[in-house]
């Protein structure tokens, strides 16, 4: 247990420690309200038309058909699975392996990297600083990769010995994939192929972060979640899901669709910043993570974000008298403070930026 210092409102308890202690019931602080529990809503692995989230083949990235497929997925689902993406499968296995190795280290090793809510960088077990909040059943490790002034080598674990080198290589490869996806998204919008990247501050201005999620076994998975329902606050997320255990669910027309990961694929989703920039042509979508009693689960998320001090608003090309700007300008630095204070809260933040029917903006930014 970590004390309530360093900005946390309460002592931090590692979920992995709770799980490994053999508790038969979860503490009350992890029990979700009935309406948010996994069994409270319809669950399915397919939609009413029999399909799951789209699968997009990226083997021909310059083919207009690829841009169309990416664009259609971003418009309709906000999610897709990317196959033939160019990142070696062997690197995906190494990335999963080193981080499983980290979470198997003794607690005193992991505690050296304990994080604070100032930057969240390091080893953590909660999002948000509200005292008495209902917590999620999961631990994580968060790292800044870009821009260079945020890269802190002291936050990168030394064990396992190949973790740093593997994570740096993985981040470079997946960030490059993020750039290719930005091009496809731009082409699919009918704007210049570099337009979205320019709105992010250029390729060198884009921020890159990695969050490794570890969801230990849970004795009462029907009462809690590994990660509460939310849309991602950044630009785009490229997720390497667990290769053995399902858990990610996407909200679709009132039902929760469980994602069945394609081997060696990435799960890509639109974040709130791209929803704002595209004036809601591309949509960020609520998703959540289930836990289970039989197996632990690990995933690696890379967040591809806009330059943090750049005001973002709908791109002029996507604003017209028939479709006025839906969102007021805000920097990503300002925007992400919401989730850092309150934790995951559905789509309440991006919705708070919407313009009013009369053309003004909603004054509530939570």
Q: Please write the tens of the pLDDT for every residue from 103-162.
A: 999 999 999 999 999 889 999 999 888 899 999 999 999 999 999 999 999 999 999 999
Residue pair 67/80 in contact (Cβ under 8 Å)? The answer is no
Summarize pLDDT for 215-225 with one digit per residue, the tens: 999 999 999 99
Give 205's pLDDT tier (boundaries 50, 70, 90). confident
How far is residue 355's CA from residue 223's CA, in Å, rounded to a whole number?
37
Going by their DSSP bridges, the two strands 255-258 and 43-44 should be labelled as parallel
Summarize pLDDT for 223-247 with one digit per residue, the tens: 999 999 999 999 999 999 999 999 9
Per-residue pLDDT at 254 exceeds 60:
yes
From the list 110, 107, 109, 127, the residue with the least C-alpha distance to 8 is: 127
How far is residue 95's CA from residue 162's CA, in Å, rounded to a whole number?
10
Cis peptide before 304 (omega within 30 of 0): no
Per-residue pLDDT at 39 exceeds 60:
yes
* pTM, rounded to two decimals: 0.91
What pLDDT score does 179 carry? 96
253 φ, ψ to 5°? 55, 45
211 φ, ψ to 5°? -130, 120
How far is residue 77's CA from residue 103's CA, in Å, rounded to a whole number?
33
User: Tokens representing 239?
Assistant: 């997720």
Per-residue pLDDT at 4 exceeds 90:
no
List Cβ neighbours of 80 (8 Å cut-off, separation of 6 or more): 53, 54, 55, 56, 69, 70, 73, 74, 267, 268, 269
Residue with token string 């999002």: 127
Domains of the chain, residue spans: 26-353
From the list 133, 126, 302, 341, the residue with the least C-alpha distance to 227 is: 126
What CATH number is given for 26-353 in this structure?
Answer: 2.60.120.330
How far is residue 130's CA from residue 139's CA, in Å, rounded to a whole number?
18
């Amino acid at each position: 247990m970590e004390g309530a210092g360093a900005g946390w409102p309460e002592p931090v308890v590692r979920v992995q420690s709770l799980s490994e202690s053999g508790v038969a019931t979860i503490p009350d602080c992890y029990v979700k309200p009935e309406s948010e529990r996994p069994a409270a809503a319809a669950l399915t692995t397919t939609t009413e038309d029999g399909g799951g989230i789209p699968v997009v083949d990226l083997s021909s990235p310059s083919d207009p058909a690829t841009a169309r497929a990416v664009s259609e997925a971003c418009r309709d689902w906000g999610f897709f699975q990317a196959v033939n993406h160019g990142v070696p499968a062997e690197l995906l296995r190494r990335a999963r392996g080193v981080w499983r190795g980290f979470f198997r280290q003794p607690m005193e090793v992991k505690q050296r990297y304990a994080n604070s809510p100032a930057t969240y960088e390091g080893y953590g077990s909660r999002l948000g600083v509200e005292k008495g909040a209902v917590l999620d059943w999961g631990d994580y490790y968060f790292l800044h990769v870009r821009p260079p002034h945020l890269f802190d080598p002291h936050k990168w674990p030394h064990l396992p010995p190949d973790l740093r080198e593997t994570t740096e290589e993985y981040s470079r490869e997946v960030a490059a994939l993020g750039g290719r996806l930005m091009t496809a998204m731009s082409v699919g919008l009918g704007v210049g192929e570099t337009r979205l990247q320019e709105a992010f501050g250029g390729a060198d201005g884009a921020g890159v972060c990695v969050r490794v999620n570890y969801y230990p076994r849970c004795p009462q998975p029907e009462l809690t979640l590994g990660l509460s329902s939310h849309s991602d606050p950044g630009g785009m997320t490229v997720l390497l899901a667990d290769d053995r255990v399902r858990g990610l669910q996407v909200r679709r027309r009132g039902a929760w669709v469980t994602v069945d990961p394609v081997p060696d694929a990435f799960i890509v989703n639109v974040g709130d910043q791209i929803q704002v920039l595209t004036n809601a042509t591309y949509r960020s979508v609520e998703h959540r993570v289930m836990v289970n009693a039989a197996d632990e689960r690990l995933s690696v998320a890379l967040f591809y974000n806009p330059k943090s001090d750049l005001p973002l608003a709908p791109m002029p090309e996507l604003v017209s008298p028939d479709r006025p700007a839906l969102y007021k300008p805000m920097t990503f630095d300002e925007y992400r403070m919401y989730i850092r204070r309150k934790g995951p809260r559905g789509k309440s933040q991006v919705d708070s930026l919407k313009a009013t029917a009369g053309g003004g903006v909603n004054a509530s930014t939570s």
